[in-house]
Amino acid sequence: MGQRLTSRFFVEGLAWGALTAVFELLAWVPDLTLLCSVFAPLPLAIVVKRRDLKTGALAFLVACLFFYLITHAGLPDLILILKIGLLGLLLGVLLKNNVSTGRSITFFVLSAAALTLISFSIIFWTTKINVFVLSQENRYSMEQILGSYVNMGTAEAPLTQETVQTVKEAVNLASQLVPANSVILSMITSFVTYLLSLRVLKKLGSNVPAWLPFIRWQFPWYLVWSLIAGLAMILAGDYFNWSTVSLIGRNIFYVAGFIYFLGGLSVGAYFAVKWKLSLAIKLLLVFLGIFYAPVALAFLMILGIIDSFINLRYVTESGGSQGREHK
């Protein structure tokens, strides 16, 4: 009996590890990188949920071995594979212990963001490859695209000096926010991975935590300290001419602003459902939000900040029966 269990343990480890390795290999195809980064942690999460962490760890080792033997990858690729494996094992542990959806998503998404920064930092320290810096080719492409967008609707003519300067400033800002965009992208992909894991495990007959609807997402009040810290670093960096401090502050502020934007969007979606707005009004609001994007983004961000201190859903519901809920 013990020998049969041991054999099954190794077979499952090999099978799930091989599947993980397939996703990791497909991630080498540029057009499939983003898609595979979403699916790659799933096999490890599923095997940990349905079996145990030991089987998941074996599958992870098998995946790393297969990947290295086939590709002879260098250190940067192996570090990114390690990140994927750790995320898969972490997700499996969260699901196996039936951690609530809100807590699971929060911890998993923040872990993905932290691992992204740690991975890229290790790559930079060991290889001197800075993935947070735009190449000259990418910078030139962005300038061309922005220039075409600014000149849209007018006869083709050279851009004015003022327009060229505006485009260059926009590209410089985008290049400064590459770390923040990388973190946000990792948060989005890890969130999609979590959703897919719930769907797959439910199809396989496993028990999964109840889903927290988007209209009930609310972030804790103390998240505001990230905004304050980011703003303080920006002001201090600009005043004392500390470019690195200012750059870090901008990225912190940008990521925190994105999170609060989601919080405000959740509140807006809640009231759209509560007030039973017609489809025409919803489409009009979406159109206005796109047309006046800066105003809409600022409004939703402020709404998210207010909601983190005062649960706007709780305030408007009769009897206040819902209480505070955090994503």
Tokens of 14: 């090999």
Nearest to 207 by CA among 98, 48, 87: 98
| 326 has pLDDT over 50 | no
What is 1-140+178-212's CATH number? 1.10.1760
Domain coordinates in residue numbering, the chain: 1-140+178-212, 216-327
The first and second tokens of residue 319, run together, are: 């009897």
Q: What percent of the chain has pLDDT over 90?
A: 48
Q: What is the pLDDT of residue 323?
A: 45
> Structure tokens of 301?
């961000």
Q: Which pLDDT score is estimated for 171?
A: 72
Q: Is 17 exposed, middle or buried (0-12, 13-18, 19+ CB in 10 A)?
A: buried
Residue 123 has pLDDT above 90, yes or no: no
Give the pLDDT score at 321.
45
Q: Tens of pLDDT along 97-117?
A: 999 898 999 999 999 999 999
What's the pTM value of the predicted model, to 2 decimals?
Answer: 0.84
Determine contact, residues 96/51, Cβ cutoff 8 Å: no
Q: Which residue has the higher pLDDT, 145 or 128?
A: 128
Q: Is the pLDDT of residue 91 over 90?
A: yes
- 322 confidence band (pLDDT: 50, 70, 90): very low
Angle subtended by helix axes 2-26 and 42-50, to nearest 10: 160
Residues in contact with 133: Cβ distance below 8 Å, sequence separation at least 6, in sequence order? 175, 178
Per-residue pLDDT averaged across 50-76, rounded? Answer: 87
Higher model confidence: residue 237 or residue 206? 237
Q: What is the pLDDT of residues 144-164, one digit of tens each?
A: 666 665 555 444 555 566 666
CA-CA distance, 221 to 215, in Å (whole number)? 18
pLDDT, residue 14, reads 82
Q: Which two three-digit tokens encode residue 76?
A: 């940067």
Provide the pLDDT for residue 196.
95
